[in-house]
Amino acid sequence: MYHLIIDCDPGHDDIIASMVAMAHPETFDILGFTTVAGNQTLEKVTSNLLKVQTLLETDYPVSMGYDVPIIKALEVQPLAHGESGLDGPALPKAERKVTGLHAIEFMRETLKRSPEKVTFLCIGPLTNMALFLKTYPYLKEKIEAIAIMGGAVNSGNIRLKSEFNIYHDPEAAKIVFASGVKIIMAGLEVCYAGSIHLSEAEQANGRGRASQLFYDLMQFYDRYAIDRGWDRTAIFDMTPLIYLLKPELFETREYEVHIELDGEYTRGMTVVDLAKTENLLHPVTVLWDVKREEFIQVLFDSLDILDRRYQ
C-alpha cells in the first residue's frame, strides 16, 4: 500500500494518471493532491482538477502550491494542453474547493500525521517538492520515495536536451535529485516506449463516465501527435504511477542523475551518468523500458473499474 500525495499541474496526462490511481484503492491510499504552475497557470490547473473531481464525484483534498518557478519565468504549454490546460472535454462547474493550506503546509501536516511513510507522485515541475524539502528537511525521513515524470536519458521535448517538467524549474529539480530521498525517474524514453496508439484510444468512446472522459481528453491531446504525422502518443504522467502499481512491467537501472542549470541547449537537462554503476552517491531508479501492451491494458482495466464505480 502506498500512502500517496499527487503533486501535479493538470494537464491531460496528469488527469489520466490520477484516474488510474483512483481506480486502485487497494494499492494507493490517496492522501491528497497539490498543484503547481506548469502546463498552465496555477489557477487554471487547480480549477481543472476540481472540475474533474466534481465530474467523478470524488473529494480528495486539493492544496495550491507555487505559481512560478524558483528563478525562471513561467512558461505554460497551450500547444499541448490548450488555453485552459485541459482543453477538449466539457467539464462541469467545480463544486469542490481547495483546502486553503499552501501545498507545502499540506505536505507538512500530512506527513506529521501519517503513521506510515508517504510516497510522492510528482508529475509536474518540482517547485513544490523542492521548497518543501528545503523548508522542512527534518520530514525527509517520513518520505518513502518520490516518483517523478521528468527528464530524459538522451533527448528533450522543450529544448534540445531538456524535458519540460525539469526545464520548467531546474533549480527545483536539482534540490530534489540531490536530497538523498529515494528517487524514481520516468524520463521521456520510457514514456515513449509505453505510447498508446491513436486507434487504441478510440476503444474508450461511448463507454462509461471515466472512459468517456479519457476519450474526450485524448481527442485534444492526440492533436499534437497527429499534426506531426505520428500514429501514437505518450501519456507521460501515467508512467511513474503505473510503475508503482505494476513494477514487473518495467526494466529499471540505477544511476546518478545530475541537473544542468546552464547552457542554451542544455538548461534543465538530466545528465544521467551511464558510466558509473557502483558507489553511487545519490542513486536514482531510472525506468528504462516497459512492456507496452501490458502497460496500456492497465490503463483500460483501470477505466473499466472507474466506469463501474461511477455509473
**CATH level 2 (architecture), domain 2-309:** Alpha-Beta Complex (3.90)
Between CA 32 and CA 34 the distance in angstroms is 7
pLDDT in tens, 92-125: 999 999 999 999 999 999 999 999 999 999 999 9
Q: Which pTM was predicted? A: 0.97
All three cell numbers of 159: 529544448
C-alpha cell at 56: 467523478
162-177: pLDDT as tens digits: 999 999 999 999 999 9
DSSP letter for 74, please: P
Of the candidates 304, 261, 237, 240, the residue with the CA atom closest to the CA atom of residue 39: 237
Domain spans, the chain: 2-309
Report the C-alpha gap between 35 and 128 in whole angstroms.
8
**2-8 and 118-122 strand pairing:** parallel
Q: Is 206 left (phi over 0), alpha (psi -120 to 50) or beta?
A: left
For residues 237 and 72, the model is more confident at 237
Read off the pLDDT band of 250 (50, 70, 90). very high
Q: How far is CA 274 from CA 70, 154, 279, 289, in A?
A: 29, 11, 13, 15
Q: What is the pLDDT of residues 224-249, one digit of tens each?
A: 899 999 999 999 999 999 999 999 99
- 102-117 burial, b for 16+ CB within 10 Å, e for fewer? bbbbbbbebbeeeeee
- Write out pLDDT tens, residues 54-68: 999 999 999 999 999
Interacting residues of 293 by C-beta distance below 8 A, sequence separation 6+: none
Q: Measured between alpha carbons, how far is 61 from 83 in angstroms, rounded to an integer? A: 25
CB distance 76 to 39 below 8 Å:
yes
Average pLDDT over residues 264-282: 92
Q: The C-alpha cell of 134 is what?
A: 528545503
Q: How far apart are CA 55 and CA 299, in angstroms?
A: 19
By the 8 A CB rule, do 270 and 185 touch? yes
286 by Cβ neighbours in 10 Å (0-12 / 13-18 / 19+) ranks as buried
Q: Which residue in 162, 147, 151 sits closest to 250, CA to CA?
A: 147
Contact at 8 Å (CB) between 148 and 174? no
Enter the C-alpha cell of residue 73.
Answer: 519565468
Q: Which residue has the cell 504522467?
A: 237
